[in-house]
Amino acid sequence: MALKKSKMSLKELNTNISFSEGLDGFSEKPKKKKKNNHDYSKAFRPKKHIVKNKFLEILDYIKSIPERLADDLPRNLKSLYFAILGTMVGFCFAILLFPNNPGVFAVFLTTLFLAPFIQKQIRYNELLVGRTERVESKGITLFKFKPSFSNKIDLSFKQLYYENKEILSVYLNFFLGIFLVVISLVAFIPQEYSSSLFSSNGWNDSLLPSKDIGFSNQSKQSVFLDIFVNNFSVMLVALIIALVFPLGAILIIVWNAVYWGVVFTQYSLTYALFYQTGFFAFLIPLLLSVLPHMILEIISYFLGAMSGNLLSVGISKEKIESDRFINIIKYCFILLAFAIGFLFVGVFTEVYIFDILKNFFFSLF
């Protein structure tokens, strides 16, 4: 009898084992569900997922093309490249989306395109304020980084130049790239279309050529005062916009580059037609004549905007009662003082030296 009882079928043994395992906390094996042959959504879902992933990969690849092309460029030329590309993209989308007033919207779209390339540099500049120290040894000048902030801040011109030369270089390249694109657009598209495209950006339908360009027959002192007051107000607007609006500095750069590009190119087209000369024979000496005071004045706008940006970041990140915040305010006032200095020299160059340069360069062409 014992021998018979010990003998169990293999099926009964498996049943007892699964039951005893269930008592110890294990669950029974789940029963296999029957396949639903009519559930077609599951069959098609993987295909949709694959298509979506492929589409996102293509978009990522397209977005990475500008950066891929810029990888082989020198560091200083990358900002120029992105400015040219961003201006063309901004104007294309503005023409397509806002055909009634594309010029104004092109400025804003170009600003949005260039914003990511400058925001990191603005934060980096705020980090450097008061945390770098100039060291001279054996005729070699080095700058070392101090993690802690010192109550004494070096506000010399060399120190200010070191801490801001990168962002100044980026701003100048942005300005130059936008300026060149706008000159090309105004020069090569029909003037009827330029009139509608740049109607809000400096285009003057009533422009008539005169016998002379410059200030030779005007009171230099009154002209100097008028231009200085006007440009000083532009610099203050740049500071206020940069203080309130994080992208204010780029907006000022884009607007001035577009405006000056339109004005100088329209002048060249009009005067070249009036005097029966080549377009570039008038544009090149004109640009060479205005280049000195244009660079000085645009640097003053940059410094004003940088002061506003730096103060904005300081307010948002530093404690108002801290020594660092007070020193940031001092730093911003020093930048503003340099901006006024550049503005003064630029206006002086425009009023008193432009005529000399104009006569010299136009005599060469």
Hey, what are 343's tokens? 């503005």
- Asked whether residue 2 is domain-assigned, the answer is no
Hey, what are 213's tokens? 């360009």
What pLDDT was estimated at residue 67?
Answer: 61
What is the Cα Rg of the chain in Å?
A: 33
Structural domain boundaries enclosing 200: 88-135+143-364
- Asked whether residue 69 is domain-assigned, the answer is no
Find tokens 């329209």 and name the residue. 266
Nearest to 343 by CA among 256, 235, 266, 237: 235
- Asked whether residue 23 is domain-assigned, the answer is no
- Asked whether residue 335 is domain-assigned, the answer is yes
Hey, what are 156's tokens? 């010399």
- Asked whether residue 32 is domain-assigned, the answer is no
Is the CB of residue 358 less than 8 Å from the CB of residue 213? yes
- Asked whether residue 184 is domain-assigned, the answer is yes
Is the CB of residue 269 less than 8 Å from the CB of residue 184? no
- Asked whether residue 54 is domain-assigned, the answer is no
Terminal CA-CA length for the chain: 126
Nearest to 361 by CA among 295, 280, 299: 280
pLDDT tens for residues 107-159? Answer: 999 998 888 877 766 666 656 555 545 445 555 544 444 444 445 555 666 77
- Asked whether residue 245 is domain-assigned, the answer is yes
Is the CB of residue 328 less than 8 Å from the CB of residue 318? yes
pLDDT tens for residues 149-187? Answer: 445 555 666 777 777 788 888 888 999 999 999 999 999
How far apart are alpha carbons 346 and 298 in whole angstroms? 9
How many alpha carbons lie under 13 Å from residue 91 in its C-beta half-sphere? 19
pLDDT tens for residues 42-94? Answer: 444 555 566 666 666 666 665 565 566 556 566 667 888 888 988 999 999 99
Task: Count the domains in the chain.
Answer: 1
Conformational region of residue 21, where left means phi above 0, alpha means psi within -120 to 50, and beta covers everything else: alpha
How far apart are alpha carbons 149 and 159 in whole angstroms? 15
What pLDDT was estimated at residue 351?
Answer: 92
